[in-house]
Chain A
């Protein structure tokens, strides 16, 4: 008998708002412990939560981009449990009436085909703080993260492999980043996933009993935990055992899943509507405002680049890999470059610079407009390609604008008679080389071009020099 693995995901993404979900504290976990806290996020007596409108706007963007039905009315509930990093004794979440229902995540199967994972819902909630358990038997609490805004994306179960489960989370990460909703950085803990795994005989319809693996914080752990847990379940079932519905822990070091608690021990969270927060009303105009300010999706941008602008798919991929790359490419075109030269210069120069300097595009010193000005000079034959590249490089090194350097650069000489004089001089002093070329050694053309460029002190238009050289050698 063969087995099929079925996976459902709960993806938690911290939203990249300036402030926390229900107070004005800076959302920044990097600071000194317990630095960004206030009476509201630490649950002081008398303090009340006030919903951060910027978090709702981001949540709307996520729901639009994942194709959810946004609910005109939703509300917050309290999830009650005791834990030291939860100072109010409850987490504010959306249990009964989440703001978004349905939706889907598109992800690649292992064979490269596209697939769709349907969503159950997305809801907004606040994060807990952090407990740091030290070796000296003490535990320390850092509440900087406490009450940071989270989205929880809950999917339906779907047959898939561990690699595909990781692909789903990866696709979600790309969308959330693309639309500016979350930094979705697993290393920093602002993207985490819980994975529900079950197995069933291939061809069988009902789902098997699932187990839940909590708080997976890397793509490897998502992939491997699904693989290891489904293998464990198959082993149990094949030995005639039964799977218990339970929460299990993923042990990354030993690559095993470990028992944590059974369904019967699962806490009773005693959810009820939070009386401190009014119903969240999302109007059609709120949705439209977010929709109209959403960036072009990767899919529609790909169509535009490849089909309309005729950029080769492989070239398009590097421009599409990050939203800001495509934006920069568009800005180069808006500054007057053709799609082909914007693509060539972006990939050939801009990406090379970023790579060499280990920079993000945000920190890149050159503007699309100034690069376009240099490229136009090249295309109008006023400077050579090499000169153009040199100007960009120099601009980065000197911190001066390319246009300033461009203005100081003497234009290359394209005047026919001047060039001809230089070329004739070179031909006369290298008759042996000319003979060899005539005998068929075309490689030596480069040597002659170089000699002419030297004679002109770099001012000659190399393309024209080559034309004249060719003509004169063939003529005589």
Chain B
């Protein structure tokens, strides 16, 4: 009955692996063993993996095999390996958000998204590296060290979900949970040639996501293709009684995307020419397949990054106040309360996190609040209205993810403004709360991956993912692996 032990090809998507499992061409146990081997070797080598859970994962895989033998599988993700970013709480292991202040922190509780995936049979195999508290675009602010881009190990994988995207970019079979506050799933997905999806704000419960900018944060999947992201979203999404801002959105019945607008600001002088060309080429490939392509300007996009920096840091300054050395956070011994706070927070937080806390505290301070925080909220409303208006004329927007290619490790880390420039094309989706899908669309002359993104109206998540799947049926960019292991 069962065929001799063999494993799916490395680039295989979750969908393909599910068919292997269904046809008993391999067992979940064999798959998990193989995947753990990848995590322990290449995963650790490039710094993408912080922890693995071999015993629990093997036990879960065995249970999955038993369910399958009994004809009682829990769904298409049963037996499929996944990892969670260090800022997503898990019952197993630590959840330190890659910060020294949370060193060794065990949440003892799965985030709702993780809990739902495990209940659907998916197997948590490990935790992935990320920027400290998800603040960064290069995975260089992590207390667990840098992550190398699998396509060029001297370069950054992007951030903050650098570990998750690097894993997805170098191996199939699995999916990975990251988070996106200003581009943190899409930019590393683009840098590592993976498919990453940021849902509509509120679609996926934030319970268990260690907060950075609460009004912008979402838990996101990054995987080999759009269909895998859709399967994962379907399990994670929906109202959670533990997150008052979570929603059940039903958009299954709407029409497929047929009209896409190129966003003119995504092709301006600040954007790498090879990237612009790759995305334009993608647009004409879509046009060849019958998608109507129009061009539109996205109002206020030039103000989006400044607006984002104010709102994200303001919320972060408050969200990170709890790491005070009294209740949560490494406590430094001190002579009095004031110095306990100061020393614990100074030593516990890295410099980028401290910079953002200070900035956020400043923009909320009496005397400055009106000029910064209040104004940024007004700009945010304009951005939201602007994108809503443009989306009345089309089903989705198309633009590059990153204005430039993956950069060398160390190049921007001491220049915060240069680092924040990574976000100029991604933050709009977070400010407006709309879904956005990052898809690989080719490579530049140096062989570095290029990503494009589709943004849709709030609630159009499954439409975007369906468009992504169609695009990936027409093209092969998403099947490439760094060492030439493509199909």
Contact = CB atoms under 8 A, between A and B. Distances in A.
B400 interface: no
Given A268-B366, A275-B315, A46 B321 contact: no
Contacts of A49: 244
Interface in B301-325: 314-315, 317-318, 320-322, 324
B105 interface: yes
A48 interface: yes
Interface string A252-281: 000000000000000010111001111000
B364 to A, nearest CB: 4
Interface stretch (A83-91, A177-185, A455-463): A83-91
Given A46-B208, A46-B210, A275-B215, A89 B244 contact: no
Interface string A345-385: 00000000000000000000000000000000000000000
A47 B107 CA distance: 10
A45 B103 CA distance: 13
Interface string B8-47: 0000000000000000000000000000000000000000
A84 B326 CA distance: 6
A84 B244 contact: no
B462 to A, nearest CB: 23
Contacts of A80: 317-318, 321, 364
B89 interface: yes
Contacts of B97: 45
Give the interface size class of chain B. 35 or more
B66 interface: no
A393 to B, nearest CB: 53
**Taking chain A's interface residues, is the majority helix, strand, or loop, or is none over half, making it mixed?**
loop
Contacts of B315: 272, 275
In this complex, which of B209, B213, B327, B365 has the most chain A Cβ atoms within 10 angstroms of its Cβ?
Answer: B327
A79 to B, nearest CB: 10
Interface string B196-214: 0000000000111111011
A94 to B, nearest CB: 15
Given A43-B322, A45-B95, A275 B214 contact: yes
Given A43-B327, A45-B102, A49-B244, A82 B341 contact: yes
Nearest to A88: B322
Given A46-B211, A82-B324, A270 B365 contact: yes
Contacts of A272: 314-315, 318, 364, 373
B206 A78 contact: no
Interface string B99-111: 0001001010101
Contact of B207 (A46, A89, A90): A46
In this complex, which of B213, B320, B366 has the most chain A Cβ atoms within 10 angstroms of its Cβ?
Answer: B366
B322 A89 contact: yes
A270 B95 contact: no
A44 interface: yes
A87 B318 contact: no
Contacts of A270: 317-318, 361, 364-366, 369
Nearest to B99: A45
A268 B322 CA distance: 17
Give the interface size class of chain A. 20 to 34
Interface string A24-61: 00000000000000010011111111110000000000
Contacts of A84: 326-327, 337
A50 B242 contact: yes
Given A46-B210, A90-B318, A277 B102 contact: no
A141 interface: yes
Contacts of B211: 45-46, 276
Interface in B254-277: none
B329 to A, nearest CB: 10
A87 B337 CA distance: 14
A276 B214 CA distance: 7
B63 interface: no
A263 to B, nearest CB: 12
B243 A39 contact: no
Given A46-B211, A87-B328, A272-B364, A278 B318 contact: no
Interface in B117-171: none
Nearest to A129: B327
A131 to B, nearest CB: 10
B469 interface: no
A89 B321 contact: yes
Interface string B167-196: 000000000000000000000000000000
Nearest to A143: B327
A278 B322 contact: no
A90 B321 contact: yes
A472 B365 CA distance: 97
A42 B208 CA distance: 14
B307 to A, nearest CB: 15
Nearest to B245: A278
A272 B370 CA distance: 11
Contacts of A82: 321, 324, 341
A140 to B, nearest CB: 11
Contacts of A275: 213-215, 245, 315
B485 interface: no
Nearest to A23: B242
A42 B341 CA distance: 17
Interface of B: 88-89, 95, 97, 102, 105, 107, 109, 111, 206-211, 213-215, 241-245, 314-315, 317-318, 320-322, 324, 326-328, 337, 341, 361, 364-366, 369, 373
18 contacts: A43-B327, A46-B88, A46-B89, A46-B207, A46-B208, A47-B242, A84-B326, A88-B322, A89-B321, A90-B321, A141-B326, A270-B317, A270-B366, A272-B314, A272-B364, A275-B315, A276-B211, A276-B214
- 10 closest pairs, A vs B, by CB? A89-B321, A275-B215, A270-B364, A275-B214, A45-B210, A46-B208, A46-B89, A43-B322, A87-B327, A50-B244
Given A50-B244, A88-B321, 12 more contacts: A42-B327, A44-B107, A45-B102, A48-B243, A50-B241, A78-B318, A88-B322, A89-B320, A268-B366, A270-B365, A272-B315, A275-B315
Interface of A: 39, 42-51, 78, 80, 82, 84, 87-90, 141, 268, 270-272, 275-278
